[in-house]
Amino acid sequence: MRPIDGNTYICGLIGNPVAHTKSPAIHNFLAEKTGFNLAYGAFPVDTGRLDKAIPGAFALGIKGLNVTVPYKEEVIPFLADIDSLAEKIGAVNTLVRCENGYKGFNTDMPGLLRALERDGVDIKGEDVIILGAGGVARAAAMMLENAGASSVTIMNRNTDRAEYLAGSINEICGRSFAHPLPVSGYGRLPGDAKHIVIQATSVGMHPDTEKAVIEDPEFYKTVKVGYDLIFNPPETKFMKLCKEAGAESYNGSKMLLYQGIIAYEYWTGLSISDDLADECYAEVF
């Protein structure tokens, strides 16, 4: 057991709620294995107190913070600097201490990309479908554009939201990259094409596990890889439908792992090997 002393890097998670988080298990495992003098905890921040939490953390010398719901967008005005990808995404989940405050990064989407790569899923040149039109869908679309996907189709029950999100993404990208499509319009997808599909809604999350955004098996004939960003339950109905259609399917647990690993690398300057990442995954998940 590593001793905590006056030189320990103190890091943690802020959000509301935070009791369910796996982040302390990830970061404290990595600190133990790498021998880095770091301790990680979870700090609930009550509604309306974020403006005091960020400068308070800086005043206390906290080296780094992860940010979870509902503060990933709300935290931005309290930062000293922001990474360009996080700025494009419009959400921050990692704070790195700098001279005058914290610099904000988004490791969720690089975490998703690293998880895809570890699972052998190459998105370069691919036409990807995203189910959902919320903040997570926006972040996923920006990551895909940044990583070289050919295009993305935003499918949502509320067509107006899909159209708004696609327009916003295209304005940032400076090209026609995102295309809206109502969920009911999946029959318009090319019948002979196979897509990578990212499930970016809360549909199917515990405890309401017997639902999927699209339940018609015909849709899943167009899927070659299904990636559900939900990790509880470990196998969602979306994933089951993908498998029944012969497609590969994955949940969001590796994305959660790798967003934490990337944050840890920012804070420590270390590089976490694939072997240690696998060991951490086996321990925490």
Q: What are the structural domains, with CATH classification, of the chain?
A: 9-106+255-284 (3.40.50.10860), 110-251 (3.40.50.720)
From first CA to last CA, the distance across the chain in angstroms is 21
Q: Are 149 and 215 in contact (CB under 8 A)?
A: no
Stated pTM of the model: 0.91
CA distance 229 to 205: 10
Q: What is the pLDDT of residue 192?
A: 78
Q: Per-residue confidence of the chain (285 residues) as pLDDT tens digits?
A: 678 999 999 999 999 999 989 999 999 999 999 999 999 999 999 999 999 999 999 999 999 999 999 999 999 999 999 999 999 889 999 999 999 999 999 999 999 999 999 999 999 999 999 999 988 899 999 999 999 999 999 999 999 999 999 999 999 999 999 999 999 999 998 767 899 999 999 999 999 999 999 999 999 999 999 999 999 999 999 999 999 999 999 999 999 999 999 999 999 999 999 999 999 999 999
Hey, what's the torsion of the CAs at 152, 156, 160, 162, to 10 degrees?
-20
Side-chain half-sphere of 252: how many Cα atoms within 13 Å? 25
254 catalytic? Reply is no
Name the residue type at position 233.
Answer: P
Write the CA distances from 76 to 101, 112, 185, integer angstroms: 12, 21, 36
Strands 178-182 and 151-156: parallel
Q: In what order do the strands lie in the sheet with 38-44?
A: 38-44, 9-15, 64-67, 94-98, 101-105, 81-82
Q: What is the pLDDT of residue 60?
A: 97
Q: In what order do the strands lie in the sheet with 151-156?
A: 178-182, 151-156, 127-131, 195-199, 223-228, 248-250
CA 243 to chain centre: 23
Match 């005058």 to its residue by tokens. 100
Question: Which token pair is 75?
Answer: 């935290």
Catalytic pick among 33, 52, 72, 224: 72
Q: Which residues contact 64 (CB under 8 A, 6 or more apart)?
A: 9, 11, 94, 95, 96, 97, 102, 263, 266, 267
Q: Which of 76, 51, 64 lies closest to 268, judged by CA?
A: 64
Q: Which residues contact 133 (CB under 8 A, 6 or more apart)?
A: 154, 156, 158, 161, 162, 164, 165
Q: What is the pLDDT of residue 3?
A: 85
Radius of gyration of the chain (CA): 19
Q: What is the pLDDT of residue 135?
A: 86
Q: What is the pLDDT of residue 190?
A: 78
Question: Which token pair is 57?
Answer: 């953390």
Question: Which token pair is 178?
Answer: 């995102």
